[in-house]
């Protein structure tokens, strides 16, 4: 970890001659993750990841800075991971998760000096936590067996299983496995204990559901009530329908565990998520969808008078879907961030009228903290990884941190430019082009045509650590990304347009987007085109291989389906294919066969690199192996890169380097001039 003096010395040096961005830069750039503003607004604490290539892992530490970003210095430097900082209500200490001591627990560090002290001593890992408003109680999430009466019982049972010579698992219902983990009977439950110590009480005891929900739910899914006497949390408690239901609900449970949780959102059978109380405690805000079974439905901002008042939607008339929300200090505004025309913009929602105002729309906003009266947010773009910014009263934004300030000036980056064209249904479709480094308009460059996953996602003005167009720009490629029908940030109807039409309107948009790029940017060499995609983008690569293969010199398919029929049977979250293809396949076989790549493999001819993760239970690696089998049997030049220890994403530093080097070498092989 760089000290403040060393960082200052590096910044003061004469900058080196700029060089192209590399795969090693992609892996080693510092990553600003979670952050919080102190209660009085005077300081910032944030989580910073650096990379230890030798150890093949990311190192997590906490940093402290003044509110203007100055005087940044490391707050923790332990070899263990220190993450998820939370300020004490008096601003004199910071709580955080740390793996120091051998397991993940809640720790507390006084800013007046001394070493961190452990707050929780659970016999299993703590996954997320939050504090009561007075700072006297901590609620934390940990995995436990629902029939256990304590975490000690869970630990004992795990130890007994580890000693057993039998390795079989017996299941009676789905999920059997989820994302990248085989289920073992444990559930994420919520526990409450005093910060000063004492027993941890399971306040969700007996609940046969995960709170917070798996696989990605964290501290944003549970919160103390203003008086600290109860918790409001999110869970999917639907019994055996769990694998095909999106019915997440909000529950309230007493902090002493005296009563069972009570469901609050009894009327909505779709998703309710991210509960957060207003500063005065009179209102509960959260996000909600309307259509059961649809994970990409529009999220509305809901407000419920607390504790028993009515609830209402603030944003029915606003055609965007927020990723998260944060109250202003005076409780008059809810700040939200949402995909918007190729950006992830910051919006202010009037908590009384629901009027929405766009406040910042340049790059991608990923988190906001407005609790102190200052509006601070994390922002990245196609030319810069995440840093903290502050929003002024006049709408201008000021950058606060420069966590890669010693590196970015020395890197050559490709210049991005948005463009639009008429796509399917004669509707406007948005796209980005990123020029190669050292761009010369008189030269011709090969194309890396990047296709995003989701499919309800976006390849917009965002710095991505797995699919970053700058990697291709540095190698001498033009990168083009099209936000085809189904993408987010252009209205819910545009997002919905992909439902039941995976290979229709999106393919037409990609075809017209390529034609528009070739017409608008004559420096793209039309004879050296390669297309790359992951997840849905991998499906699209397989679909294109049999239905639109003429322009391509090579293809790259990461974690993509070959057979939509069988993909239903080996995935885990069944609500996704059921919504996208019109029910389970035995009820609507035609929906799965309408755009099924496996039916067109006889027309495959383009060289393809196939990549898959062995722990990917969303798109199982047999789909990738089947794709490679087709290519090999048909005599098509092909390679198969398999990562036994990666899931749907490639996360380990060394694996990321190997992934990028393999992909770039594949593109070079087929696009180099003869």
Our answer to whether residue 483 is catalytic in this structure is no
Rounded Cα distance between 264 and 255, Å, is 16
Beta bridge partners of 393: none
Our answer to whether residue 648 is catalytic in this structure is yes
Closest CA to 109 of 152, 139, 64: 64
Rounded Cα distance between 673 and 183, Å, is 50
Which strands make up the sheet holding 262-263, listed edge to edge? 222-224, 230-235, 249-254, 262-263
Q: Are 619 and 560 in contact (CB under 8 A)?
A: yes
Rounded Cα distance between 581 and 583, Å, is 6
3-state secondary structure 374-406: CEEEEEEECCEEEEEEEECCCCCEEECCCCCCC
Closest CA to 301 of 291, 316, 290: 316
For strands 230-235 and 249-254, give the pairing. antiparallel
Q: Are 50 and 59 in contact (CB under 8 A)?
A: yes
Residue of 82, 616, 621, 638 marked catalytic:
616
CB-based contacts of 666, cutoff 8 Å, min separation 6: 554, 556, 609, 639
Q: Phi and psi dihedrals of 102, rounded to 5? A: 105, -15
Closest CA to 193 of 271, 108, 106, 288: 106
**Residue 332 DSSP one-character state:** S
Tokens of 34: 């979670």
Which strands make up the sheet holding 300-305, listed edge to edge? 272-277, 283-288, 300-305, 311-313
Residue of 535, 626, 638, 656 marked catalytic:
535
**Helix 505-520 and helix 536-547, axial crossing angle in degrees, nearest 10:** 80
**Residue ranges with strand state E in 477-572:** 478-483, 524-534, 554-558
Buried b / exposed e over 247-262, threshold 16 CB at 10 Å, is bbbbbbbbbebeeebe
- Helix (H/G/I), strand (E/B), else coil: 629: helix
Q: Are 371 and 37 in contact (CB under 8 A)?
A: yes
Tokens of 87: 């300020």
Q: How many CB atoms neighbour CB 68 within 10 A?
A: 12
Residue of 189, 558, 648, 660 marked catalytic:
648
Our answer to whether residue 25 is catalytic in this structure is no
Q: What are the CA-CA distances from residue 316 to residues 129, 284, 492 (Å)?
A: 32, 17, 11
- Helix (H/G/I), strand (E/B), else coil: 350: strand
Rounded Cα distance between 95 and 78, Å, is 15
Tokens of 615: 């722990």
Catalytic residues: 535, 616, 648
């Amino acid at each position: 970890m760089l000290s403040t003096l060393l960082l200052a010395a590096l910044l003061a040096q004469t900058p080196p001659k700029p060089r192209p961005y590399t795969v090693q830069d992609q892996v080693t750039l510092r990553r600003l993750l979670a952050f919080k503003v102190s209660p009085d607004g005077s300081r910032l604490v944030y989580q910073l990841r650096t990379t230890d290539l030798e150890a093949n892992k990311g190192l997590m530490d906490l940093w402290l800075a003044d509110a203007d970003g100055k005087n940044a210095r490391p707050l923790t430097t332990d070899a263990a991971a220190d993450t998820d900082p939370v300020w004490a209500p008096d601003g004199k200490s910071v709580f955080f998760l740390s793996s120091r001591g051998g397991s993940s627990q809640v720790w507390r560090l006084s800013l007046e000096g001394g070493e961190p002290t452990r707050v929780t001593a659970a016999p299993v890992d703590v996954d997320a936590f939050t504090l009561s408003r007075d700072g006297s109680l901590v609620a934390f999430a940990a995995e436990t067996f629902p029939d256990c009466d304590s975490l000690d019982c869970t630990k004992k049972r795990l130890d007994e299983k580890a000693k057993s010579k039998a390795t079989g698992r017996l299941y009676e219902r789905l999920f059997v496995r989820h994302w990248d983990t085989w289920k073992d009977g444990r559930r994420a439950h919520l526990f409450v204990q005093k910060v000063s110590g004492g027993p941890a009480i399971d306040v969700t005891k007996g609940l046969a559901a995960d709170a917070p929900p798996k696989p990605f739910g964290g501290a944003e899914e549970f919160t103390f009530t203003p008086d600290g006497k109860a918790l409001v949390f999110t869970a999917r408690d639907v019994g055996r329908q769990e694998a095909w239901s999106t019915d997440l609900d909000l529950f309230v449970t007493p902090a002493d565990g005296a009563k069972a949780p009570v469901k609050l959102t009894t009327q909505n059978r779709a998703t309710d998520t991210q509960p957060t109380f207003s500063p005065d405690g009179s209102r509960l805000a959260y996000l909600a969808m309307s259509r059961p079974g649809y994970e990409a439905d529009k999220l509305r901002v809901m407000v419920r008078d607390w504790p028993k008042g009515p609830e209402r939607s603030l944003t029915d008339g606003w055609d965007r879907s927020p990723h998260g929300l944060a109250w202003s200090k005076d409780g008059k505004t809810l700040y939200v961030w949402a995909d918007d025309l190729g950006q992830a913009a910051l919006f202010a929602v009037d908590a009384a009228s629901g009027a929405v105002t766009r406040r910042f729309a340049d790059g991608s906003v990923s988190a906001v903290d407005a609790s102190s009266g200052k509006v601070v947010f994390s922002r990245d773009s196609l030319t810069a990884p995440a840093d903290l910014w502050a929003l002024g009263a006049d709408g201008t934004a000021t950058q606060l941190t420069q966590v890669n300030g010693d590196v970015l000036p020395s890197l050559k980056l490709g210049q991005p430019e948005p463009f639009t064209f008429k796509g399917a249904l004669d509707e406007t479709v948005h796209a980005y082009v990123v020029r190669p480094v050292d761009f010369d308009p008189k030269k011709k460059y090969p194309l890396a045509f990047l296709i995003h996953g989701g499919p309800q996602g976006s390849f917009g003005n965002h710095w991505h650590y797995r699919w970053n167009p700058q990697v291709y720009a540095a190698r001498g490629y033009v990168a083009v990304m099209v936000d085809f029908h189904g993408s987010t940030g252009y209205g819910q109807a545009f997002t919905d347009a992909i439902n039941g039409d995976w290979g229709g309107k999106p393919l037409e948009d990609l075809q017209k987007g390529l034609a528009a790029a070739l017409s608008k940017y004559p420096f793209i060499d039309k004879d050296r085109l390669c297309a790359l995609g992951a997840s849905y983008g991998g499906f699209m690569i397989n679909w294109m291989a049999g239905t639109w293969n003429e322009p391509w010199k090579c293809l790259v398919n990461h974690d993509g389906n070959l057979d939509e029929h069988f993909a239903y049977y080996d995935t885990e979250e069944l609500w996704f294919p059921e919504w996208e293809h019109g029910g389970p396949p035995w009820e609507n076989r035609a929906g799965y066969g309408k755009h099924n790549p496996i039916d067109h493999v006889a027309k495959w001819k383009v060289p393809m690199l196939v990549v898959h993760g062995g722990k990917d239970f969303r798109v199982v690696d047999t789909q990738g192996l089947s794709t490679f089998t087709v290519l090999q049997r048909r005599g098509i030049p092909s390679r198969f890169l398999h990562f036994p220890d990666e899931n749907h994403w490639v996360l380990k530093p060394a694996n990321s380097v190997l992934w990028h080097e393999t992909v770039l070498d594949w593109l070079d092989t087929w696009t180099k001039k003869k």
